[in-house]
């Protein structure tokens, strides 16, 4: 006689997203989203990171008028990658 376990096939609802090791760069990257499982090209968002503040401090010390430059230019910023479908944060490219 076969016993049935109601609810045993149910997946837990609080799913932890386990991402495979993924190296993100500065550009949008094609990845499989760990959240919605779609193959997507990430959307990127530039954010102030350690490199921005480090550059600003150096400029503040040596070239005061240009202290603001790292905050308004992209080359120093960290790049955060998001899934365009489910908006999950997939990874960050850090300059430092
Ligand atoms: Zn997704």
- pLDDT for res 8: 57
Q: Distance from the CA of 20 to the center of ligand 1, in angstroms?
A: 14
For residues 14 and 39, what is the distance between their CA atoms, to the nearest angstrom? 22
| DSSP character string of 12-78 | PSS----PPP----SS--EEE-TTT--EEEPEEEEE--HHHHHHHHHHHHH-GGGTTHHHH-STTSE
pLDDT tens-digit profile of 49-71? Answer: 999 999 999 999 999 999 999 99
Query: Does the pTM exceed 0.75?
Result: no
Q: Distance from the CA of 77 to the center of ligand 1, in angstroms?
A: 24
- pLDDT for res 96: 77
For residues 4 and 30, what is the distance between their CA atoms, to the nearest angstrom? 42
3-class DSSP assignment, residue 89: strand
Q: Distance from the CA of 72 to the center of ligand 1, in angstroms?
A: 29
Please identify every stretch of the chain with a pLDDT value under 70, giving residue numbers as ranges: 1-21
- pLDDT for res 31: 93
Q: Distance from the CA of 14 to the center of ligand 1, in angstroms?
A: 16
Q: Distance from the CA of 41 to the center of ligand 1, in angstroms?
A: 10
- pLDDT for res 75: 84
Q: Distance from the CA of 60 to the center of ligand 1, in angstroms?
A: 40
Q: How far is CA 46 from CA 3, 35, 78, 79, in A?
A: 55, 22, 6, 5
- pLDDT for res 95: 81
């Amino acid at each position: 006689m076969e016993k049935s376990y109601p609810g045993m096939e149910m997946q837990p609802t609080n799913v932890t997203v386990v991402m495979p090791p993924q190296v993100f760069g500065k550009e949008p990257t094609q990845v499989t989203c760990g959240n919605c499982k779609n193959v997507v090209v990430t959307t990127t968002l530039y954010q102030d990171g350690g490199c921005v503040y480090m550059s600003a401090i150096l400029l503040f010390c040596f070239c005061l008028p240009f202290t603001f430059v790292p905050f308004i230019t992209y080359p120093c910023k960290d790049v955060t990658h998001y899934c365009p479908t489910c908006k999950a944060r997939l990874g960050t490219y850090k300059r430092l």
